Every structure is written in structure tokens, then in C-alpha cells.
A and B are shown apart, each in its own frame.
Chain A
């Protein structure tokens, strides 16, 4: 059980990297960027080797490390990953290098910028591996600090307001989450997710809470729902779920694009991770009780955000709303699996499909959204920061390779079969439809609106007569093409061979679904 602590080492690599960048790259931005890139690739290599040693057939936790820490409080240092954790580590270690690569226009205090990026990565690794609430929450909160400064110091003209809103908003959610978990801790004396999930499945968690916490005013039913609501809020803000999403468009738009890549690619997945690792196993029964309103929220997230994207004129804001929309499908599927918790084999298969779809969608969204923002960064670099839908026109004539590759990423985001976006969405819809038919059917509107705004981008930016302002716009350089190639290739690979991801998450998914008994 306590073999070599690979996960701890993985979390420490970016920390060491951040210190290195601060000490040696403070003065020279090229040195800082290259150092950061080297360390992020080191983390990627480490994650890939973890994947290589991961036993995919077992849905259990692997690479576990469990060390007593504060015995009196039941706090242990407990890390481990299953298929879900590995998926998160992989996407983080893919997204962060993309973010660093896309940050080439950072000029001032580059050393600090890149060390903050690496610190953010360390917090993400910490969050995705922690199995004890105590240090999980530390990483969860700590991640806000680098993100806050990255947005505030290097962002656009209104970045201070955006950063503050981002920080305060997520903080409010986190406090609600913290309070819920403190109440649970007071009642059970446990902080360990695995223990808590076991208690919940045995139906002992909420009775214990109610017995210990003498809240006379509230019925047991209400106590459970209040605790659920607290935890739910923390994650709903992070994903985000409409109407808790208003921090996102301005934060994504104001942040430097390299940071946006990490925000959308990896940080938004923290919320989904919370839904999957914490809410579903621990609060499944409560989710089932409020399923209908939750489904409404998911449908609203999908439809409203897709249509809001249609009304935007700024590429980053469009992709920000599109991000909300894509993660909305994940939430739809997550909510749908708490319906019908009997042992019906056919419905269980649908749940496997839906949850596998969630996993794929998480990974695909990270890849596609990161790549799309990367293209925006390259466009900004060439045009001096312009990224409005109506600032361009006919660019395909001058930058055909840029158009072609970004077109692939756009169609991946649209869910075109053959590219990565399709399989996840297909599985989500296939699984959710028999479980929650009406919500799934309405959600189709989101797919339609997505097609409209994505083709709108292609039409307004790349087609039509050339806007003469950009007659000399340079196409992608060889270095840019080479660095984009792996991301684009991965889109094709996952579109044609989704088993690459499903192969290692499926067992975990089956276990998660089987544990949904209440």
C-alpha cells in the first residue's frame, strides 16, 4: 500500500519547478518559459508512466499512500487514484503545457507568471489525488491563489474586477462546502472520502449526523438536504452550473489566454471531479430526492449557455459559454444516473454508458477547449490582442493552415463524428435518454445552438471577402504547427479509438454505478 509515493512526487514536481522558475528565470522570460515547460513536461512524463503502470481492469484505488497526520482529528494524508483520478491527472498534465506554450506573449514578470502556473498545476494534482477532505480542501482552496493573481496581474483591462469576482464567488461556494463537511466530521469523526462513501452506502451517514447534531428545528430530511446543498454549491460554482456561472465569462475573457486554457481545461474539471468523487457517492440519495430541479438546472445550463454564446461577439466569451455548455452535458448525465436505483440490468447498462460518456466528455472538453483558446492566443499575438467576431473576415485566404487546424478543433467542439467530441456526447445522450427522456430531448437544442455559433465563427472570421487589414497576417510557423500537431492528432485518435480513455475508466465507472444503491 505504501510503496514509492508516486502521487506525492507528482504533486511536488511542479512545486519544485515553480521554485526553480522563480530563482533562475526571474529576469529572463525565455528562460522562465522554457524552465516551466520542462517541468510541465516532466509532470506529463510522470503521469504517462503512472498510466503505464495503472491496472485498468481494476476499478479500485491505486498508488495509494496513507499516512496518519493529525490523529486526534481523524486527519490522514491519504492519496490514491482510480480511473477517474488518472483521467484528471492526464488532462491536467496535457492542459498545463498547452497553457504555458500559449503564454508566449507574457512580457512582464514572466518568472512569477510561470511559477504561478506551475503552482496551480501542483494544486490541481493535489486536489485530484487527495482522498482525505482535510488536505483535499487545502489544495482546493490554495488553487484559487495562483489563479487569482494570474487573472489579476496579467489580465485585460478589467481583470481586477474579474479576478475578485472569481475569488469571492468560488470562496462562497467553498465555505458552504466546508461547513457541510465540518458538520459531517463533527457527527462521524471522519474526513476520509472513502470511509464517508461507505457510510453513506450503508445508509448510516445521515442518521449519524442527525443523531449527533441536535438541530431540533429541522427534520432529519431537511438536515440531509442542507448538508447536500452546501456541498453542492461548492461544486456547482466551480463547474459552473447556471445560475452560479456569472463569474466565468468575465474571468475567462479577462484572464491572459494561457491562464484561460488552464482555467477551462483543468480547473473547471475540479467541480466535476467533486460531483463524481464526493457528491455522487456520499450524497447520492439526496441528489435523487431533488432530481427534478437538478435536471432543470442542467438543461438550463446546456440551453441557456449555448444560446448566450450565440449572442457574444468576443471569441473568448463565446468559448467561455461554450465551455459551460459542454460541461452541462456532463452534469445532465451525472444527475440522470441517480434515477431508478434498482438493479435493472438494462438501465444499469445505460448508466454505464452515461458515466463513461461523462469521463470522455471531461477529457475531450479539456483537450478541445484548451486547443481552441490556444488558437485564440495565437490570433491575439498576431493581431495585437484583437479577438472580436467582427474584427476579421476572409482570413482563410491568408492563413489557410491556421484555418484548417482551427477548423478541426471547432468541428471537434461541435461534436463531429470522427473527432473526439462526438463519442462522449453520443454516450451521454444514449445513456441519459432512457433515464430522463424529456431533459435529454430538450438538451438537443444545445447541440443545435453550438452548431450555429461554431459555423458562425467559421463564416465571419475565415470566410467571405478578405478584410484588407489582415492582408499580411502570417500563417502558423513551423514551430507552432509542430506544437499543435499532437493536440490535433489526439482529437482524431480519440474520435476513432475512444477505447484509449474508456479502457482505463470503465472499471471505475462500473464500480461507481454499482455503489449507487439507496
Chain B
């Protein structure tokens, strides 16, 4: 065990500590917060590179590339719950990607957030995010992964709602957290189930881990009540979590709203890293996803993988369709992200870890490039985000334009020189040979057409023609202090990260071409050699050619609608939307999914909470009140009987006594005169009696 593996925990710990210090820092300690975040991220990046090199050298020497370090967390019963971290090719690739992209975005943010009063807090949250995300990546325990996963959700919540004074931002933050939590509850349950079945949540533990052969062999034969293997049930529940985080249909609704956050956040969290965590999770638990009872080591489409593929394919097309009709520069990119995440899921489903992960990595670079480019555009246009009001930015922002164009071509999958081409083509090629159905392939190809189309549309709207920017209406959310009428290029601290990302968006594809599939071999622990004959593999060239043609067709269509004639004014209707206004409006409203949820699920939820409150007030409390009023009624009745019956008789007796007493008391008035009078009367009576009696 080498130093780097033993101390790999430093990679997430450093940004987390930076976040902790940043949280205690005061608002004016801007330099401290930013330099802590950037410094810790740089060190983490260097450590990640060392880790990557270590895995590489292990692989070259033919040694096992997976190394784990476990530690005890707490004890229950006789068991210790263990957590741990690991270093394997998947982790190493992700570590380098997250720290590198993260570092560039941190640097970019110094420029972008320059005028924000909560600059310090922003870097604190960013660093906390980086720590949590890196924790997800290197965790060797599903529990630790889940914990970091939730922290990632928290930081996403904090950063989407960073401009908390905007009600939309606050609502979007809440929505993001809750929608992803719905998926996470499935994940949580799947985790509890997996723990119960396999007795451990460590992924790899010298043969005793839950992703290793012994545990999986038990899981695939254990059949549950509904006739599904336990492994399938658990895999699908875990996929719920992944679908929530990675914005898969039908849990995609939070991601477009998440664009309320500052643009670097959108780039880092909602494009490059966090949303990819779902894809990474599926890649991590791939042995579970692909576990099946039958023989065979190749890619057998298990139920779980079939579900993953279909959800991915549908998401890819669904989101791409919506992206066509959006006008907010960031929302277009958000739907594009959802669509690309769909491709990644589909790639995992049809082609395995390497295929999906390759697209994840290339996408991280070109999509963060696009978002940072968009941020630069927004920054230059004083906070304007509506593409109808931009235009002509090529002249004002040449560096941004060039970088953006590279990102756009990479996203479209422009043949040969852009990374997106190679990674997307690997997915399409795998889909074309999928044994279950060819529909995902057609969906993927159609999605590629749409991607090329909407990106061309966006670029023409933003960069071509003349500026339609209206300075007076520009919503200057963050840059009010230097608002100017004309757009301007961003400072070097923003354009340099753009340039670096652009270089990677082009070059990265060459590490995973069919001729030299270094990336795929690295993930699968195999050696690699240049092998040009791979292009002649059956089906490969036709797929490459057809997807190239599709991309070119999409670009041409985009030019036909938006490039031929410059867009006249901000109010002019969309030239494609004019053809089918109704369909375009449906797409513009994102198929009314939000409205549907509002009308059904949210209403149901609100109604249910009112019912619970009502039950509480009237039924449970009503029962108690009834009992207590019954008791009170008895008490009243008792009182009545007491006063009217029991007491009445008693009182009657008492009154008789008292009356007679009063009468008797009259006899003892204490007045001598009345005594004398009584004596006199008595004497007279006595005399009369005696006399009368004597006369008898």
C-alpha cells in the first residue's frame, strides 16, 4: 500500500476544510476564502494526478489496480460498520476530471462573482461541494457514497438558492432538493435492502464486499415476492437515486430551474460533475446492475440495464426536443445536459462502464466550456440571458465566441476533431448492436440530429448578425456597477479557463478512438495498442458515417432556419417555430411536465397534508373531545341529580330542621319583655286550664 492510497482521503478533505474555514470567515475576507478554495483544489488536483499515475503504473506492471482502505465507523451489536475509500481506474479518472474542471471553474468564478457581496460564502459553498463530490467518487462504501451524495445535494441546494432574495431562486433550490430526494428515498431503501441481503455496504472487501462475486451470487438467486431477483430490485431502487441526480425523465424537472444559480455553479454542478454523479453511481455499482444468474461474462442485458437504457434513450430525445424551443441561453444548455445525461445512461446500458464513462468525461469538459462561455456572454451582456436579445457577439467577444464554437461542435459531435464525436459514436455503435432492441439506437441518432440543430440555432442567435441588446431592459442581476450599453469581452481570468477547456474539448476524444481505445482499456484494466484495423470492425464505419451525416444535416438545418437571413429583431418569431407554432409552443413549455406535476402530484400532496391536518383537528381530536364532553355531560348530570334529587331531599330535611329551629329560636329571643309576656300568657292559660278543669 503506497502513500497515495493511504492518504487519498486528503483529496476530499482539503476542500472540505477550506469550506469550514470559509464558513467562519467574515464577509470581507474575500481573498482568504477564494485562495483557500483554489489552493485546496490545486493540491487536490495534484494529489489526484499522482493517484492517477499510480493506477497507471500499477496497470502497466500488470498488478491489480484496485486498492481499498477501510476503517471502522461505529459499532452496533457485534458488528462494526465500516467505511472506506478506494483507488481504481474509475475513481482515478473521475478524481482528475472533477479536480481539474473544478479548479478551472473556481478560477473563473473569481472573475464572474467579483461584484457579489456574498463572494466569501460562494467560495465556501463551492469548496464544500468539491469535497462532497470527491467523497462520492472515492468512496468504497455505498453508505459513505450516499452520505456524500446527500451533501452534494445540499451544496447544490445552497448554490442554486445563492441569490436567495430572488423568489425564483429560492423555489428552484427547494424544488431541486425535493425532486432529487424523491429519487434518493429509492436509493436509501435499495441501500437498506442491499445491506440486509449482503450484510455489508463496502463495495470491495477482499471478496466479502457487496459488489464481489460471493454477495452477487446470493443476490441473483434470491427471488422476492413479485418474482424479481433481489439484485434487480436493489439495482432499480438505486437507479431511482441516479435518475433523480442525473435528471432522467420523469425526475428531470429540477435541472432547468436550477439555472437560477450563478453560472459557474451551473457549469460545475449542473453540467460537469454533480449531475454526472448519477451516471457515475451506476458505473460504480455496475457489477450489481449487470448481475445475472445465467452463465456468460459478456454484456448480458439484465432487467436493470434494460430499464437504464430505455430511460436514458427516452431522456436523450425528450430533452433535446425541448431544447429546440427555449430562449434562455442557460436553459437550452440545461436541457442539452439532460439529453446528454440520457446518452450516458444509454451508453452504460448498452455498452458498459467504459462507453458511458467516456461520454461523461468528454461531456464534462465541453459542457462546462459551454456554460462558462454562456456565463461570459451573460457577463458581457450585463446579465441578459434571453438569446433573442443578444446577437452579433462574435465581434465583441471573439475569444468567447471561438471557445463557444469549439464547445458547440464537440457537443454536436462534429466528426473527427471533436471529443463529443468519439464518445457519442461509441454509444451509438454499442446501441446499434444491442441485442434487445434497435429503437434506442434510432432514438439516439435522432437526438444527435436535434442536438446539432438546437446548438446551431443558439449560436446563430447569440453570436451572428447584429446586436439586439437593449441596455435599458438588461436585467443586471450581478453586474449593475459596470453596466454598459455595448457587450464587452470578459477579463482574462475568465477567458483563460475557457481556452484550456476548449483545448481539452477537442483533444480528449483521441484517447478513446476505436483505433486506440486507451480510455476504455484503462477502465477495464487492459493493455492497449494502436490498432487501426478496428475501424473495419463490422458495423463500426457505417455507424460513424451515418452519425457524421446526421450531425452535418442538423448543422445544415440550423443554418437553413437561422443562418441564411440574420435575425431581424428581438420580437421576431422563431423561424422554425413559425412552421409549427402549436408544436413549438408545447416544446417551449417543456411538454407541460411542470404543469402536469403541479396539477397532479403537488395538488395531491397539498390535499393529503390538508387531510392529515383535518383528521387531526376533527377526527382524532374530535374523538377526544367527544369523550371529554361525554364526561362533562355526565358530570353535569351528576351535578343535576345532586342538586335536584339528592340535595333536594337533604335540603328539605335541613330546611325543616332549620325552620323548626327558627321557630324554636323565637322562643329564645333573649328579650325579657317577651319572656315576661310568655310567662304572662302561660300563667293566664294555666289559670284558665286549672279553673276550667276545676269546674268540671
A residues with CB within 8 A of B: 165, 168-169, 242-243, 245-247, 249, 303-305, 307-308, 310-312, 346, 348-353, 356, 394, 396-397, 404, 411, 416-418, 422-423, 426-427, 429-430, 433-434, 440-441, 444, 447-449, 451-452, 455-456, 458-459, 462-466, 497-499, 502-503, 506, 509-510, 513
Q: 1/0 contact trace for B371-407 toward A, CB 8 Å?
A: 0000000000000000000000000000000000000
Question: How far apart are B167's CB and chain A's nearest CB, in angstroms?
Answer: 5
Q: Is the interface of B mostly helix, strand, loop or mixed?
A: helix
- The yes or no answer to B165 lying at the interface (CB within 8 A) is yes
Contact A308 B75 (CB under 8 A): no
Question: How far apart are B76's CB and chain A's nearest CB, in angstroms?
Answer: 4
- The yes or no answer to B615 lying at the interface (CB within 8 A) is yes
Binding-face segment, B41-49, B104-112, B173-181, B461-469? B173-181
- The yes or no answer to B525 lying at the interface (CB within 8 A) is no
Q: A246-B616, A444-B188 are in contact. Are A466 and B628 (CB under 8 A)?
A: no
List residues of chain A with CB within 8 A of the CB of B639.
none
A462 to B173 CA separation, bound complex (whole angstroms): 13
- The yes or no answer to B4 lying at the interface (CB within 8 A) is no
A303 to B616 CA separation, bound complex (whole angstroms): 12
In the complex, the 6 A-B pairs of residues with the closest C-beta atoms, listed nearest first: A352-B77, A417-B147, A463-B170, A311-B613, A434-B196, A307-B612
List residues of chain A with CB within 8 A of the CB of B165.
394, 397, 463-466
Q: A312-B613, A422-B147, A456-B174 are in contact. Are A463 and B74 (CB under 8 A)?
A: no
List residues of chain B with CB within 8 A of the CB of A246.
616, 620-621, 624
Instruction: Show 19 A/B contacts (Cβ-Cβ < 8 Å), sorted by A.
Output: A169-B624, A247-B624, A303-B612, A307-B611, A308-B613, A349-B76, A349-B77, A349-B79, A349-B199, A353-B76, A417-B151, A418-B147, A429-B188, A444-B185, A447-B188, A463-B164, A464-B164, A498-B73, A502-B76
List residues of chain A with CB within 8 A of the CB of B164.
394, 396-397, 462-464
A517 to B171 CA separation, bound complex (whole angstroms): 52
Question: How far apart are B108's CB and chain A's nearest CB, in angstroms?
Answer: 26
A434 to B147 CA separation, bound complex (whole angstroms): 21
- The yes or no answer to B523 lying at the interface (CB within 8 A) is no
A444 to B170 CA separation, bound complex (whole angstroms): 25
Question: How far apart are B210's CB and chain A's nearest CB, in angstroms?
Answer: 13
Contact A346 B199 (CB under 8 A): yes
A256 to B75 CA separation, bound complex (whole angstroms): 39
- The yes or no answer to B608 lying at the interface (CB within 8 A) is yes
Interchain CB contact (< 8 A) of A418 among B151, B157, B608, B612: B151
Contact A430 B195 (CB under 8 A): yes
- The yes or no answer to B555 lying at the interface (CB within 8 A) is no
Q: A429-B188, A448-B185, A465-B165 are in contact. Are A307 and B609 (CB under 8 A)?
A: yes
Interchain CB contact (< 8 A) of A356 among B73, B76, B157, B161: B76
Question: How far apart are A310's CB and chain B's nearest CB, in angstroms?
Answer: 4
Q: A394-B165, A396-B164, A452-B605 are in contact. Are A423 and B620 (CB under 8 A)?
A: no
Q: Known contacts A311-B609, A433-B189; can you find 10 more A-B pairs with CB under 8 A?
A: A418-B147, A427-B76, A433-B196, A448-B178, A449-B609, A451-B177, A463-B165, A463-B167, A465-B167, A510-B77
B residues with CB within 8 A of A: 23, 73-79, 143, 146-148, 150-151, 154, 157, 161, 164-167, 169-171, 173-174, 177-178, 181-182, 185, 188-189, 191-193, 195-196, 199, 605, 608-613, 615-616, 619-621, 623-624, 628
A364 to B212 CA separation, bound complex (whole angstroms): 35
A464 to B260 CA separation, bound complex (whole angstroms): 13
**Closest chain B residue to A431, Cβ basis:** B76
List residues of chain B with CB within 8 A of the CB of A249.
616
A62 to B489 CA separation, bound complex (whole angstroms): 74
Question: How far apart are B144's CB and chain A's nearest CB, in angstroms?
Answer: 9
List residues of chain A with CB within 8 A of the CB of B75.
499, 502-503, 506
A245 to B623 CA separation, bound complex (whole angstroms): 12
Question: How far apart are A432's CB and chain B's nearest CB, in angstroms?
Answer: 8
A497 to B72 CA separation, bound complex (whole angstroms): 11
Q: A312-B613, A448-B181 are in contact. Are A464 and B174 (CB under 8 A)?
A: no
Contact A452 B178 (CB under 8 A): yes
List residues of chain B with CB within 8 A of the CB of A311.
609-610, 612-613
Question: How far apart are B187's CB and chain A's nearest CB, in angstroms?
Answer: 11
Contact B77 A353 (CB under 8 A): yes
List residues of chain B with CB within 8 A of the CB of A464.
164-167, 170
List residues of chain A with CB within 8 A of the CB of B619.
243
A245 to B154 CA separation, bound complex (whole angstroms): 33
Interchain CB contact (< 8 A) of B192 among A348, A429, A509: A429
A346 to B197 CA separation, bound complex (whole angstroms): 9
Q: A427-B76, A456-B174, A502-B75 are in contact. Are A168 and B143 (CB under 8 A)?
A: no
A422 to B191 CA separation, bound complex (whole angstroms): 14
Contact B146 A417 (CB under 8 A): yes
Contact B189 A417 (CB under 8 A): no
A464 to B171 CA separation, bound complex (whole angstroms): 9
A229 to B608 CA separation, bound complex (whole angstroms): 30
Contact B177 A455 (CB under 8 A): yes
List residues of chain A with CB within 8 A of the CB of B182.
448
A455 to B165 CA separation, bound complex (whole angstroms): 15
Contact A509 B77 (CB under 8 A): yes
**Closest chain A residue to B225, Cβ basis:** A437
Interchain CB contact (< 8 A) of B620 among A243, A310, A427, A433: A243
**Closest chain B residue to A437, Cβ basis:** B193
**Closest chain B residue to A347, Cβ basis:** B196
Question: How far apart are B191's CB and chain A's nearest CB, in angstroms?
Answer: 8
**Closest chain A residue to B121, Cβ basis:** A400
Question: How far apart are A507's CB and chain B's nearest CB, in angstroms?
Answer: 10
List residues of chain A with CB within 8 A of the CB of B169.
463
